[in-house]
Chain A
Amino acid sequence: MQLAVDNLACRRAGRRVFDGLSFRLGPGEALAVTGRNGAGKSTLLGAIAGLVGRHAGEVSASGIGDRTLAESLHLVGHRDGLKGSLTAEENLAFAAALLGSQALAPADALARTGLPGAAQLPVAYLSAGQRRRVALARLLVAHRPLWLLDEPLTALDTAGQSLLAGIMAEHLAGGGLILAATHAPLPIEGAGELRLGA
């Protein structure tokens, strides 16, 4: 899959967030989106996913067959889409049914993100870092080539960060694409950087 963003401009509540943004992302490539708070990192991810209105410009993808761009990407953000009263496994099984193109089983995905014991616990009982691991396990239960990650390292301990680094490296090696909004340096070798609001 190839992602092309041309001259993208976004406005929120009538105020300019960014203008004239262009970049390309190809298979196996990762791009870190950096910038101060409020620079529009999350807005950019939302605009690519089609969840935030685009003011001008174009976002296009090739090499995804007859699927749309929204059906070819994962978005893991601050609003993690997890229900507190459902168990981690139920949350993931639901996400897998919703997103289609199933990959790992929920229990295996949780084992990969280092939470094998938490599968049967309601998510409300988990810590912020454990919750984040459940949200990241969603990347593994459905296969989608483009990963949009909003501050993926937040709340993760060092073991969690290296687990995530391994998962991301595996995704890139398999021809996946990663676009991550982040303040901390991404644990990926050769990741490009896109600086917003500079």
Chain B
Amino acid sequence: MGTFLALVRRDLALAARVGGAGGLSLVFFLMVVTLIPFGLGPDLNLLSRIGPAILWIAGVLATLIGLDRLFQADEEDGSLDLMRLSPAPFEVVVLAKATAHWIATGLPLALFAPLFGLLVALEPAALARTALSLLVGTPALTFAGAIGAALAASIRRGGLVIAILVVPLMVPPLIFGVAAADPANPGSGQALSILAALTLAMGAVGCLGAAAALRGGE
């Protein structure tokens, strides 16, 4: 537990300081959400109908940003070797790093979603549901991304490889996330439950998979 907290604290400090990636994905999220209405034209009904999907797709893309550095930065400077010598299981290391990544990228997306939702003309009910679905679903995106980031940890410019590996895994959370965000959808409650299940499943699979990939690497 001490190792877990120390890792989370360190990664958050790194994200917050000069050269860290904190805020980057939030700005990217904002850019996508503001650009789409300009491209789509002045059709408010269309915009508010596809608004949750826009926020979710922007969330998926924003999560992909910075994923390539999740393990690569630590692999390059030897920090990962230090973690391999720790008595803590490597799954805990992955869980801590993914948690810190989510706090720095996914959580701000969910918190700012009600504000950004106004840009795509979401109704108040849809605003709340979209924020809730992002809060529940973005950890699944991060954990899925951790698998790709671990596999590509020793590849320079691994961002493309990660995107190809990870985007298919992000499709189920995207589908159920958008379904859960739509207040007019009678099945949105079930969709939210499935989304929560996906997050838990991805949490387990992501930690085990990423730890296996990093342990086997030289």
Residues of A within 8 A of B (CB): 12, 49-53, 67, 70-71, 73-75, 77-86, 90, 93-95, 97-100
Contact = CB atoms under 8 A, between A and B. Distances in A.
For B19, B81, B83, B88, which residue has the most chain A Cβ atoms within 10 angstroms?
B81
B10 A79 contact: no
20 contacts: A12-B218, A52-B218, A67-B87, A71-B86, A73-B85, A75-B81, A79-B76, A79-B78, A79-B81, A80-B78, A81-B77, A82-B77, A83-B14, A83-B77, A83-B79, A85-B17, A86-B13, A86-B14, A98-B7, A100-B3
A43 to B, nearest CB: 10
Contact of A100 (B7, B83, B86): B86
B79 A51 contact: no
Interface of B: 2-3, 5-7, 10, 13-14, 17-20, 76-79, 81-88, 218
Contacts of A50: 84
Contacts of B5: 97
Nearest to B13: A86
A7 to B, nearest CB: 20
A99 B81 contact: no
Contacts of B79: 81, 83
A86 B9 CA distance: 12
A173 B180 CA distance: 65
A12 B86 CA distance: 25
A52 to B, nearest CB: 6
Nearest to A84: B19
A73 to B, nearest CB: 7
A51 B20 contact: no
Interface centre among A50, A85, A90, by most chain B C-beta atoms within 10 angstroms, is: A85
B78 A81 contact: yes
B77 A80 contact: yes
| Interchain residue pairs A-B with the least CB separation, the first 5 | A79-B78, A97-B6, A81-B78, A85-B17, A81-B82
A75 B83 CA distance: 11
A133 to B, nearest CB: 16
A86 B10 contact: yes
Given A84-B19, A99-B87, 5 more contacts: A50-B84, A79-B77, A80-B78, A90-B13, A95-B82
Contacts of A94: 6-7, 10
